[in-house]
Homo-oligomer: A and B are copies of this chain.
Amino acid sequence: MTKVALQEFLTPPAEMARRRGPQDEIVLSSRVRLARNLEGCPFPGTAKKEQRQKVLGTMLPAVESLKLMQNGFSTAMDALTALDKTILVERHLISREHAARNVGSGLVLNKDESVCVMINEEDHLRMQALLPGFQIKQAWKLIDGVDTELEKSLDYAFSPVFGFLTACPTNLGTAIRVSAMLHLPGLVLSEQIEPIIQSVNKLGLAVRGLYGEGTEALGNIFQVSNQMTLGEAETSIAERLEKVVKQIIEHEENARGTLLERSPKTVYNHIGRAYGVLSNAHSISSKESMNLLSFLRLGLELGHFPGVDRSVVDELFVQTQPAHLQRMHTGRLSGEERDLLRADMLRQQLRNMSRPVMQAPPGQADDSAEKTN
């Protein structure tokens, strides 16, 4: 395990933003999470402090010793600052619930942040693999390996009838949650997102906002995940989600194509305004900047910002979040101060990015085509 402060350990946002994965123009990341509990110990929610500390004492070394976790980061939750915890939430490494935990809870993170194990969240163990782009199978393999290794030294609570036992019955059985984070501005702009969400729901899958359950779909980003964990094998759950995500990707691509064909100005308008506000505002909220960065990302993918790498935008997606902004400054920032600094950062970063060059789809005249100024 590395013995540095969390913030030193974490990958710089610029490097995170440069990580690529298959079809990452639409699938931002793929994630598989497993829940496990120790036989004979009460679940964290009902356990006493001493019991939780005992579980943590067993778990931490077990997880740390895994080969995959070499040069990783390990900590008790009470050793982290509130800022550290929020940064982990903003990176989708831990849940909001886990960020609220202190004594008796812990966390182990591998070197490249692709594997994160939470100890004493809702269950004794919550382990996840998080990979850039569309890599559901790979994420499943990765976390399955971690699980298999840990099983050798830990005695999991398992019922031959119900499968893995979990604190919440909705996780019972495989205790698996497979999810993909999707960037769907085309479906949002063409107002097809609601029917798509409804169809996906009917297939037994959930669609949520950027930070999971009960959160808003900021930046046109949606999380699709399985609901059922009982009566279906892990690989089958993963494959089913993969199929549905493939279909959503197709719908998004079609929506973008149709928009550009039928109402290119609507698309240009969103992209142009997003660029205009992001590169000129002097105060901007996290929510607004997320929503506008989404259209900037779309513009980059449509080739409206020649010579600009998408990582510029992807880095800003990370950096403009409240805790990431705060860590770059000494002294506690108020929300208002953060809005000013966020705008300063955006102007600074986008200063050298020229105005979008809007190109009409082949065969269509477009009087709005502009040269870079």
Binding site for B on A (CB under 8 A): 265-266, 268-269, 272-273, 275-283, 340, 343-344, 347, 351-352, 355-356, 358, 367-368, 370, 373
Contact = CB atoms under 8 A, between A and B. Distances in A.
A123 to B, nearest CB: 46
Contacts of A283: 265-266, 269
Given A347-B368, A351-B370, A370-B351, A273 B281 contact: yes
8 contacts: A269-B281, A269-B343, A273-B277, A273-B280, A275-B276, A276-B280, A279-B355, A347-B370
A343 B280 CA distance: 18
Contacts of A358: 282
A61 B273 CA distance: 53
Given A266-B282, A276-B280, A280-B355, 10 more contacts: A273-B277, A273-B281, A275-B276, A275-B280, A276-B277, A276-B278, A277-B277, A279-B355, A344-B368, A351-B373
Contacts of A279: 276, 355
Contacts of A276: 273, 275-281
A142 B268 CA distance: 49
A272 B282 contact: yes
A358 B340 CA distance: 14
Contacts of A367: 344
Contact of A356 (B277, B280, B370, B373): B280
A336 B272 CA distance: 17
A352 B370 CA distance: 12
Query: Which 6 A-B pairs give the minimum distances between C-beta atoms?
Result: A276-B276, A276-B280, A272-B280, A269-B282, A268-B282, A269-B283
A364 to B, nearest CB: 14
A89 B360 CA distance: 37
Which of A281, A351, A358 has the most chain B CB within a 10 Å cutoff? A281
A355 B275 CA distance: 13
A280 B358 CA distance: 11
Nearest to A353: B373
A320 to B, nearest CB: 16
A354 to B, nearest CB: 9
A352 B355 CA distance: 12
Tell which of A269, A275, A352, A367 has the most Cβ of chain B within 10 Å. A269
A358 B280 CA distance: 11
A210 B280 CA distance: 28
Contacts of A351: 370, 373
A65 to B, nearest CB: 48
A279 B280 CA distance: 11
Contacts of A278: 276
Contact of A265 (B269, B340, B356, B368): B340
A8 B282 CA distance: 43
Contacts of A277: 273, 276-277
A265 B282 contact: yes
B368 A352 contact: no
Nearest to A277: B276
Contacts of A280: 272-273, 275-276, 355-356
Contacts of A272: 280-282, 347
Nearest to A347: B370
Contacts of A275: 276, 280
A265 B340 CA distance: 8
